Chain A
Amino acid sequence: MDLGTEYLGLKLANPLVPSASPLSRDLDSARRLEDAGASALVMYSLFEEELLQEQHQIERFLHHQDIGHAEADSFLPLPDRYQSGLDAYLGQLTALKNALDIPVIASLNGVSTDGWVEQGRELAGAGADALELNVYYVAADPDETGAAVEDRYVDLLRQLRSAVDIPITVKLSSQFSAVGHLVKRLHGAGANGVALFNRFYQPDIDLETLQVVPRLQLSNSHEVLLRMRWIAILHGRVGVSLAATGGVHTDEDAIKLLLAGADVVHLCSALLTHGAARLTTILDGITQWLELHEYDSVRQMKGSISHRHAPDPAAFERANYLQVLDSYAAPGGVRR
């Protein structure tokens, strides 16, 4: 069975690519993913805030320790050499490149236009096969327009594009009024692919302390459907590679996404929960499904039920929404 696919111009052995997760922090677990069949690896994200916070911390607590007291103009030794978050990331990228045969995609996560160009250049220089740009921006200002938010993404991408030659994919949030149009704009600005969709880590309220706290919840398979719809809508219409990310836990999830038109399917929660072996299971499942349904290759199935190719394209649009609502029945015993 030919499981090969092409993503961002990279020829991959199969469509299963572990997405940004802690699994890439450790060489052993990365090797296990490769052994389990991963066709490429997206590294854990290099967070803009982390780098900035680190720089601020070093500035504040090491470079500016003076309090104006005659007996002490500093309290902590200023190290001659230290490893910054970026150094650690580049080091891990190099180590992964040395340890693995599959392509390694570096991931940049941030919101501002500052700094990324340089970091993108460093990642490319360290051997990244591609860059995933994860623009995690919450448009919390009610005066900011959707167009302005989109411009922010496009500008950022354009700057990065001018700095690096390697492929770039943009990981997007689903919360855009016109996802398709934005993807086309990104293509115009130099994106080689998009990954749909980012999952926002939601803030939560601690009911005891009444504090707002960050909450990380792993995905579940229900989330696949949103991805599937938009992959299907965009397949073949926007000129970029499509990656599906968020909620892929089973071979069925992956198959649906491929049928909808995904070039690759990212895995994260499933691997964190079940380990690298889950990737093999899913890959086996895909193979079996293809065999059972007499497909020759993944290429053959890819996008076969996309918006362009679906027997009823409208099903991916609003009618589908109505169906879902209609299909919802209250559980027994609930008075309505």
Chain B
Amino acid sequence: MGKPATVTIDGNEAAARIAHRVSEVCAIYPITPASPMGEWADAWSAAGQANLWGTVPHIVEMQSEGGAAGAIHGALQAGALTTTFTASQGLLLMIPNMYKIAGELNPCVFHVAARSLAVQALSIFGDHSDVMATRGTGFALLASGSVQEATDLALIAHAATLEGRIPVVHFFDGFRTSHEVAKIVPVDDDTVRALVDDQRVHEYRARALSPEHPQLRGSSQNPDVYFQGRERVNPYYTAFPALVQATMDRFAALTGRAYRLFDYVGAEDADRVVVLMGSGAEAAHETVEHLNAHGERVGVLKVRLYRPFDPRALLAALPATVERIAVLDRTKEPGSDGEPLYKNVLTAVAQDAAGGESRFPRMPRVVGGRYGLSSKEFNPAMIKGVFDMLAADAPRNDFTVGIVDDVSHTSLDWDPAFRTDAHEGLFQAVFYGLGSDGTVSANKNSIKIIGEGTDLHAQGYFVYDSKKSGAVTVSHLRFGPRPIRSSYLIGDGDARFVACHQTVFLERYDMLDKAAPGAVFLLNSPAPPEQVWSTLPRHMQEQILDKGIEFYTIDAYRVAQDSGMGKRINTIMQTCFFAISGILPRDEAIAAIKQAVEKTYGRKGKRIVEFNFRAIDQTLANLHRVQIPDAATSHIEKRPPVPADAPAFVRRFTGELIAGRGDAIPVSLMPADGSFPLGTAAFEKRNLALEIPVWDEHLCTQCGKCAFVCPHGVIRSKLFPAELAADAPPTFKHVPALGKDYPQGMHMSYQVAPEDCTGCSLCVDICPIRDKSNVSHKALNMAPQPPLRDQERNNWAFFLGLPEYDRRQAKETTLKGSMLLQPLFEFSGACEGCGETPYIKLASQLFGDRMLVANATGCSSIYGGNLPTTPWTANAEGRGPAWSNSLFEDNAEFGFGMRIAVDKQAEYARELLTRLRDAVGTELADAILGADEGGEAGIHEQRLRVDALRAKLAAMDTPEARALTALAENLCRKSVWIVGGDGWAYDIGFGGLDHVLASGRNVNVLVLDTEVYSNTGGQTSKATPRGAVAKFSAGGKPTAKKDLARIAMTYENVYVAHVAYGAKDVQTLRTFLDAESYDGPSLIIAYAPCIAHGYELAHNHVQQQLAVQSGHWPLFRYDPRRAQQGKNPLHLDSKAPAVPYREFIRNETRFNMLWRSHPDAAEHFLEQSQAEVRERFHRYEQLAQLAWENDDNTAGAPPASED
């Protein structure tokens, strides 16, 4: 047999390659980290790739995982080979159907990239909490621990389920395995064919529901027989483990890769064994081999088939010599006396001991512990810590490893310096890049080049931060002659190559901590080679000297610019890696890089190929080895992650997370209930912008548009008495306020936060004022940030120190006035130019001091609430938005719950106040009870009255007074906002949204409509327009966008509006004010340009205008109050489509790509869309023109007005 072909792919693709080949139907729904499996399947089907039987699987995206599970259940009943891919809460939503699917013995496989559950916080990372929650469903649980296993066991799962009729959850660790890129041997079609028995497929089909041989399934049973029915399935479960083992054995015969239900690795006479499943078992495997080579007697038992649990197979796999067993669970079951796997192992061992002929001379002692929750690092040092603990006189039970638990004291100690021999002969490299600079894709490509060009084993793992703009990526690459089982990050002192692709990281990260002695450090820097040494912080210089590091530098941005690559440096840095590392002969490596470039862009990207080739060729001439002086000379010290004067929590907690030291945070520093302080994004100072806006105060007309559109809240206006600027820094700009709305003597300043700006330039784009003598000069102009940084930092600090303008005086109905209100949403990590955040920021300005926010999971919950920081903040009085994220699917109900809680407490508070009327004073009580809080002044007065009430209550020591004190805040108006994206509102959360809108309760729903699932990577939603290309709609979405507004209008008591801030800002502003003032449900559907649309977001205002002018996004407000006044409630705010739909869509890749991939469909969709926008506008126009009894303005009046 020749050497098997290999591929270099990640775990998701590895599993999907099997699933797609043996399925006919995949019903799916996007969720991280499982989405790529569905996307692969969809892409293959879209490309016409057939399954094993020569037919192309049908991929359907449902409205939720619950929906997918229902569809799967139906498809199984009707006899199709069916699969799905999911994780975390998605898997939980499938549980009800999983019971049914298993209960009816339907063969199928769910491939799960196992992920943490949302508990005190959401986490997208990997552990087994989700799959453990399905233990009771009757599904088999089969665990893969590596990319190779993900493909092998995927096939074994599909084959076994057909054999044994038990459905299988095949799972592997989210991110660690799902996203690890590794060189594996793929399973060929012959093997798949040999393992999947067609006869079983036919039998399955014969059992399907069919009118040809009708049956009833899914009956309702009574106490008489239900129990018996439940027990009827036992034989299937009893038989299943042996059947899986038999399948594994057949697989081994075909491929040479052998698996067992429980795979034992280690000493035959081991005294200590760890038991675990998933990727952690690989690290344990590596550790055990090392420890045994160094004289210990230890072992690891890898659990493959966890359900049905086969204790005999478990016991048989354990060496009889074992005395102590540590069972490691990657999940947490609060309140339990141990995690599930531990209890299963303990039971097996105990039953064995109690059952007569025991396998063990003396019953081993079994302890349980937790590790690796949410992809927490789990490495050999920790595993050795577990073995050391087992060797202690009294092994610990209920322990944790990998954290410092100073609260319950569960954590084990470990020696971070411990390394296994596996590192010998292993080439380890780390790369620090910006998310958008292509470092990750270049490294994936390098792994492929090395994996496919050499006999070396290869592994790549990529760590991302939580931001979408300016995100940092750290790539961990390993290459070596032996199989790589290191399912953990490259540790300090281990990397033979460290690359820094952006100089901004020099002052942020201790990158050379990772460097091994004699390692190479590569820095992309604009500094000339002879000066680059002096740009390093002192600590780095010292490390270079101490570790004898070779230092190389290149000005990759200049090479990119000169070779026509613009700002793309990925190929250049990749070339440097190969040139310096010597992992491949240089010429061979360069040829391989060029080949990869050609393969990527092909004939159709010939010019791009030329630019890349030119860049590659110029790289070597521009790569320099730096002469290192004898001593550290730098005076640059690494910046503290947050300023020294930041609040204590921010310094001790947030700052440590920002610095990348979150793993060291002890348990005691974590808030027990998941509550965090606001305003932390302000401390980050990410300095992302190359250019920032500069205000020309003499040209400016103070319209406020710039502050309005800023997605990050970094450009602000403030109105203040002129005399307050007496001590301003010399470069602080302020001019007399323009306009009659504000008193004499007031000055206006527009100020930019230079270190928080992302440089998106939307403020400059929207600025309407041009210099009459030089139209390229506006009242705002972009200028390089570095020279302005210090000066503007001082100006910003001074600006912040100026008092906020009195909310009661600001004319909030005007743009200028509303922009005088402080944003309570600032410096989010959203993408540069995000189309969502301006709406959220606006709401925070108008209502932030009285807002409760229910935020659906999605982009807005990530840039809103992903640690380390939050952009939500409070004002000087300490008031601000109270924000929470429950789930993806329940957000409307979640916000509704907030509303009824507030209303109930307000009602009770009013009852108490009425009872205490005399005691607190009738005047005060009546004023509070009868307050008009319609405007800012009324709200302010009421707050003062409630303060007075509290003061009075403080002196009254009665139960009612104490109760009223606790409830008094509810006597002031609170504004409940339900915020989420279109995936939530149109799809997964629609049922709840519908119910909440119908309830009539006073909630404000803000739908940030990007027309696609943005956060999970651009999957189609029901908001996706016809003809748009999105994931799951590679051929263009064939159906029209759902008209959510019209659905909501049918209730007639819902305030409904369409807004697009870049098209008509004042309409957006008025809509927000109208919606919030309406005492009932409001639904604002906001057009939100997104990077998923495929154009530079610097042009997003133009696209918003085209969306409106083409009729794609008509602007209107439906206000039920108007109907109550006898007027037509619908008011159109935009005119009939005047711009061809083609003009709107031609600028966006999501649409125009279809002209290239499916030209006929593109034209067909365009024709339909063009007709639809006209028709829809016509329908709205007719509705708006309907005569209403007291309405003089509708019948016969112009349909659309410009105000």
Contacts and interface: CB of A to CB of B under 8 A. Distances in A.
Interface of A: 51-52, 54-59, 61-77, 79-84, 86-88, 114-115, 118, 210
Contacts of A69: 435, 464, 467-468, 471
A58 B1157 contact: no
Contact of B1150 (A52, A54, A76): A76
B1034 A51 contact: no
B610 A114 contact: yes
Interface string B31-64: 0110100010011001100000000000000000
A61 B606 contact: no
A84 B1155 CA distance: 9
Contacts of B438: 64, 66
B468 A67 contact: yes
B1091 interface: yes
B604 A75 contact: no
A286 to B, nearest CB: 39
28 contacts: A55-B604, A59-B601, A59-B605, A59-B608, A61-B1149, A66-B436, A66-B438, A66-B441, A67-B436, A67-B469, A67-B471, A67-B1091, A68-B435, A68-B467, A68-B468, A68-B471, A71-B33, A72-B1016, A75-B1017, A75-B1090, A76-B1018, A79-B1156, A80-B47, A82-B1156, A83-B1156, A84-B1156, A88-B1159, A118-B606
B1031 interface: yes
Contact of B1034 (A66, A72, A77): A77
Contacts of A81: 1157
B464 A75 contact: no
B76 interface: no
A210 B464 contact: no
Most B CB within 10 A of own CB, among A59, A86, A88? A59
A88 B1029 CA distance: 20
Contact of B1012 (A68, A75, A83, A118): A75
Given A68-B433, A71-B1015, 20 more contacts: A52-B607, A61-B1095, A66-B440, A67-B436, A67-B468, A69-B464, A69-B471, A70-B464, A71-B1016, A73-B440, A73-B441, A74-B1017, A75-B1092, A76-B1018, A76-B1029, A81-B1157, A82-B1157, A83-B1156, A114-B607, A210-B770
A77 B32 contact: no
Contacts of A58: 604-605
A77 B1030 contact: yes
Contacts of B831: 67
B607 A51 contact: yes
Contacts of B568: 64
B695 interface: no
Contacts of A52: 607
Contacts of A210: 770, 775
A65 to B, nearest CB: 8
Given A67-B468, A79-B1157, A74 B1018 contact: yes
B920 interface: no
B441 A75 contact: no
Most A CB within 10 A of own CB, among B175, B568, B1090? B568
Contact of B124 (A70, A82, A86, A88): A70
B1153 A79 contact: yes
B1019 to A, nearest CB: 9
B608 A72 contact: no
B434 A68 contact: yes
A4 B434 CA distance: 65
A61 B1018 CA distance: 13
B1002 to A, nearest CB: 33
Contacts of B1159: 83, 88
Nearest to A112: B607
B601 A63 contact: yes
A68 to B, nearest CB: 1
Contacts of B902: none
B1118 to A, nearest CB: 32
Nearest to A67: B435
Contact of A115 (B46, B47, B607, B1153): B607
B524 interface: no
B1059 interface: no
Which 7 residue pairs spanning A and B have beta carbons closest together?
A68-B435, A72-B1017, A75-B1018, A68-B471, A75-B1092, A70-B464, A82-B1156
A63 B609 CA distance: 13
A54 B608 CA distance: 10
Contacts of B606: 55, 115, 118
A71 B471 contact: no
A62 B1149 contact: yes
A75 B434 CA distance: 18
A84 B610 CA distance: 17
A64 B600 CA distance: 11
Interface string B443-471: 00000000000000000000011111101
Most B CB within 10 A of own CB, among A54, A61, A75, A87? A75
B1031 A68 contact: no
Contacts of A65: 1091
A61 B1150 CA distance: 9
Most A CB within 10 A of own CB, among B433, B600, B606? B606
A65 B1014 CA distance: 12
Interface in B696-750: none
B46 A70 contact: no
A297 to B, nearest CB: 45
Contacts of A84: 604, 1156
A67 B1017 CA distance: 11
Contacts of B1153: 62, 76, 79, 82
A117 to B, nearest CB: 11
A324 to B, nearest CB: 37
Nearest to A59: B608
A87 B1090 CA distance: 30
Contacts of B1157: 79, 81-83
A55 B43 contact: no
A106 B434 CA distance: 44
Contacts of A71: 32-33, 35, 124, 862, 1015-1017
Nearest to A63: B600
B1156 A75 contact: no
A66 B1150 CA distance: 16
A58 B1095 CA distance: 11
Contacts of B1092: 75-76
B361 interface: no
Contacts of B434: 68
Contacts of B1094: 61-62, 75-76
Nearest to A81: B1157
A166 to B, nearest CB: 21
B26 to A, nearest CB: 16
A68 B1149 contact: no
Contacts of B1095: 61
Contacts of A56: 608
A332 to B, nearest CB: 38
Contacts of B465: 68
Interface in B120-160: 124
Given A57-B1149, A87-B604, A79 B1034 contact: yes
Most A CB within 10 A of own CB, among B434, B469, B1015, B1157? B1157
Contacts of B610: 114-115
Nearest to B1010: A75
A86 B468 CA distance: 35
A112 to B, nearest CB: 9
A68 B436 contact: yes
Interface in B415-449: 433-436, 438, 440-441
A54 B604 CA distance: 9
B31 to A, nearest CB: 9
Nearest to B1149: A61
Interface in B1011-1043: 1012, 1014-1018, 1029-1031, 1034
B106 interface: no
B642 interface: no
A62 B467 CA distance: 21
